[in-house]
Structure formats: structure tokens, C-alpha cells
Amino acid sequence: MAVYWITGLSGAGKTTIGREYYLYLKSSIDNVVFLDGDELREIMGGDFGYELLERKRLAHSYAKLSKMLSDQRIHVVIATISMFNEVREWNRCNIENYVEIYIKVPIEILIERDQKNLYSKNKKNIVGFNIHMEEPLNPDIVIFNDGLKSPKELVAKMLTDLRPKDK
């Protein structure tokens, strides 16, 4: 079982790419789940705010949930900003078959796209804009999503990059 931890800034395409990858896996295996950071935040009852410490607690919760599912022989595809190297390092040390996928998009492109109206509407508490994101130190895969390739093409690149690492 593996945990595919898809990280990047808001609007980078984590959910779209993650869902596409989940559908790819689901076509050949049954024991796979897709977790989206925005949905998880809502499911957890709004108990977490957007301050740095609350974001870190939430990220640790996602990591522990992903580990629990993986330990139960369920493949996990999770799309989350996950802005802390501490959390990603915990994942590497504690989750067997952890695969970190960084969807990289320059902030200028995100501001231009502004898919969730985050960058134009509410310019506070935005990771990568006015809250520092610790860029992943050693992701297994980096995907540059400039919007010129479809989600299927980006997943195909992921599959090519993953092939030698899959167990």
C-alpha cells in the first residue's frame, strides 16, 4: 500500500491531478481512497483555523489519518497544501511506501488563474502569498503545472516518474 501525498499551493491543481490519479488507480484496484484537504478540513468540523499552529495541527492530522489507512492496506491519494517540512518528514519516517508529489506553480501564474478567487478577493492568510510555505525539500516527483497540459497528461508524467519507484 502507498500514500501519494500531493502538495502545492492553493490553485496549483492538487485536487484535479489527485482525483485523476485516484481514478487511474481505482480502475485496477479496489482499495484506494482519495482525500482532499479542503474536504477534510470541513469534515473535521471546522475545529481548525488558519493560523500557523492550527494549520500544522491539521497537517499532522492528515498525515496520521493517511498512515492509519495505509496500515489497513488501503492506497491513499491525498491532495493537501501541506506547507510544513516537519510534517512531510514525519510522513517519510512513519509511512511505508510514502510518495511525495509536488505540484509546482509560480505565484504569478496562480494569481493570474485565481481559480478560487483567493488571490484577488481575500489577500490574507493565503499560503504562498502572505504566509510562507516551506517548499518540499526532497519530493519524489515535481510536476510543473503551467496550465498548458491536461490533468491526464500530468498524471501520465507522474506514472512515468513513479514506475521505477513503485513496489
Copy the grid coordinates of residue 148: 498548458
Question: CB neighbours of 102 closer than 8 A, spacing ≥ 6?
Answer: 7, 8, 135, 136, 139, 141, 142, 143
pLDDT confidence bin for 117, thresholds 50/70/90 = low
Q: Label residue 114 by pLDDT band (50, 70, 90).
A: low
35 DSSP β-pair partners: 78
Chain-centroid distance, C-alpha 82 = 7
Q: What is the model's pLDDT at position 109?
A: 85
| CATH, domain 3-162, list 2.30.30.40, 3.30.420.40, 3.40.50.2000, 3.40.50.300 | 3.40.50.300
Catalytic residue flag (residue 61): no
Would the pLDDT of 145 be above 60?
A: yes
- Of residues 10, 66, 70, 82, which has the active-site annotation? 82
Which of 113 and 92 is assigned the larger pLDDT?
92
Percent of the chain with pLDDT over 70: 84
Exposure class string for 59-68: b at 16+ Cβ within 10 A, else e: bebbbebbbe
Q: Indicate the domain borders of the chain.
A: 3-162
Residue 95 has pLDDT above 80, yes or no: yes
Going by C-beta distance under 8 Å and a sequence separation of 6 or more, which residues neighbour residue 4?
Answer: 18, 21, 75, 76, 77, 78, 99, 101
User: CA 121: distance to chain centroid?
Assistant: 23
Query: Mean pLDDT lowest for which of 10-19, 100-109, 120-129?
Result: 120-129
- Grid coordinates representing 90 are 514525519
Q: Which residues are bridge partners to 33 per DSSP?
A: 76
Give residue 157's Cα distance to chain centre.
16
Q: How far apart are CA 45 and CA 12, in angstroms?
A: 25
What is the structure's pLDDT at 167? 43
State pLDDT tens for residues 65-79: 999 999 999 999 999
pLDDT classification of 93: cutoffs 50, 70, 90: very high
Reported pTM: 0.87
More confident of the two residues 12 and 52: 12
What is the overall mean pLDDT for the chain? Answer: 86
Q: What pLDDT sits at residue 10?
A: 85
Single-letter amino acid, residue 18 = G
pLDDT at position 104 is 93
